[in-house]
Amino acid sequence: MLEILFEDQELVVINKPAGLLVHKTALAYGEEMNALIALRDQIGSWVAPVHRLDRATSGCLLFAKNEQILPKLQGMFMERKIQKTYLCLVRGIPSEKQGLIDQPLTSERSGKLQNAQSKYRVLAETEQPFNSTGRYPTSRYSLLELELLTGRTHQIRRHLAHIRHYILGDKKHGDNKQNSYFEKYFGLQHLLLHAWQLRFTHPISGKILPMFCDPPPHFQHIVEKLGWNCSQLTSAPSSSPVFDLL
């Protein structure tokens, strides 16, 4: 059963598990199960995804429940009226504790260069007494909060790779030595990227909807192994610039 975070007659928001496709794709030919089919069967309604999450990414995913509301919700994404906030664990500690990554990305479909912007904020940082890459006696990591200003394929993963703060568990854009170390010593099998929050105004009722979902157990497990307190990750995000996880 999918966890439903919000549902009314117009839309539904779920907590998508890591590893589940949003919908059928040519890249996963023959694989029938996906979030669209599972949700449709669970609630007994026509549904369509308003946006996408990578298969490896967990978290908040918005669906329309009728064909009339779908273009309105898609338009809100295009006009940046829906705020998307993510959590991820990365290698290293950014020198600037918050900033904007403004780096164009080549479309993986058309090959054209597209503008792409991601805002980030360091929530917590740590230096651990183990050597995960074979280069230094200690290893440093950060917990980041990110907001997407554009919606390109693998945008967060590619942007963080661009600034060399690779997401742990990212096998396509990440650091293979880090991934191997965390798999061997911490049992990590998943990408540590989570769609933590969606915030938007309901296009029919006008009510502000702050949708939030806890990071999955595998994410919380690594957070705890790195010595942080998970309690503030399992409550609604604060607007305060101070986030005390240490």
On whether the CB atoms of residues 82 and 235 are closer than 8 A, the answer is no
* CA dihedral sign of residues 78, 236, 230, 96: positive
For 40, other C-beta atoms within 10 Å of its C-beta total: 16
Output the CA–CA distances (angstroms, integers) from residue 42 to 60, 78, 146, 184, in the order listed.
Answer: 17, 29, 31, 37
Q: Which residues does the annotation mark as catalytic?
A: 54
Task: Please tell me the distance from the alpha carbon of residue 33 to that of residue 188, in angstroms, as a whole number.
Answer: 24
Q: Is 244 exposed, middle or buried (0-12, 13-18, 19+ CB in 10 A)?
A: exposed
